Copies of this chain bind each other. A is one copy, B any other.
Amino acid sequence: MTSSPRPDGRAPDQLRAVRIERNYTKHAEGSVLVCFGDTKVLCTASIDNKAPGFLRGKGEGWVTAEYGMLPRATNTRNDREAARGKQGGRTLEIQRLIGRALRACIDRKALGERTITLDCDVLQADGGTRTAAITGAYVALCDAVAVLRARGDVTRDPILGAVAAVSVGICQGVPVLDLDYREDSTCDTDMNVVMNDGGGFIEVQGTAEGHAFRRTELDALLALAEKGIAELVALQRAALAG
């Protein structure tokens, strides 16, 4: 790679500085502050010893997610969703994505009849909040599962493997990894990729509201995502070992 056209001088295939801070707050069974550059998301994992209604009596558990953004996490203030009386479409879409992603790494039988809720609240936004949330929520989920194991509530480890996510996009013709807000708002194509630590794809969501992307561009983006996620998985592992 040569010199980069990116606003912050990163190489096209370079992640932002990533920080994963465990035990950020004290009440939750898992509590992780994850930072992708200036994007900061607090991910907590809460254990509820009940399965949701549609799973009662089936001997399996559930993992679900909720997503929120503080009103002034962004450059201009957004209305508080609680005050408007409903969650917007973007919020629902993101929290559905986070929930699906984390369920992909859980053995629900091994979890047993309980629910783990992952609350991902954006304290500061600078692009990539959903991918940071998935990456941090995985660590919070591991901490909550460790609590269950320590309590003897589960016998087999319900974690099937790691899950992480990153955004990729094409900015001024160059495929780049982990877009910040300035890049995100000017690029033609934006893709969010969720993968596991075995190199398998869990979600691929690419959007071209401006110009359509070619198959070769798609291939380049997927390759970038694979590289970035491998690095994120290593950072998750280091944080969990710390």
* Assembly CA distance A68 to B204 (angstroms): 25
User: Which residues of B are found within 8 Å of A180, using beta-carbon distances?
Assistant: none
Contact between B208 and A124, CB atoms less than 8 A apart: no
User: Which residues of B are found within 8 Å of A75, using beta-carbon distances?
Assistant: 27
User: Which residues of B are found within 8 Å of A25, using beta-carbon distances?
Assistant: 40, 72-73, 123-124
Q: Which of A37-78 contact B (CB under 8 A)?
A: 38, 40, 42, 44, 46, 48, 66, 68, 70-75, 77
Contact between A206 and B204, CB atoms less than 8 A apart: yes
User: Assembly of this chain: how many copies?
Assistant: 6
Q: Which of A195-210 contact B (CB under 8 A)?
A: 195-196, 198-210
Q: Name the distance in Å between A224's Cβ and chain B's nearest Cβ.
A: 13
Contact between B96 and A93, CB atoms less than 8 A apart: yes
Select one of B26, B201, B206 contacting A38, CB under 8 A: B26
Q: Is A146 an interface residue (CB 8 A)?
A: no
Q: Is A6 an interface residue (CB 8 A)?
A: no
* 7 nearest A-B residue pairs (beta carbon): A200-B212, A89-B92, A81-B82, A44-B72, A46-B77, A204-B206, A82-B82
What would 15 more interface pairs be, CB under 8 Å, given A82-B87, A88-B92?
Answer: A25-B72, A25-B124, A26-B38, A27-B73, A27-B74, A27-B75, A44-B70, A46-B71, A71-B119, A89-B95, A89-B96, A103-B209, A200-B213, A201-B215, A202-B207
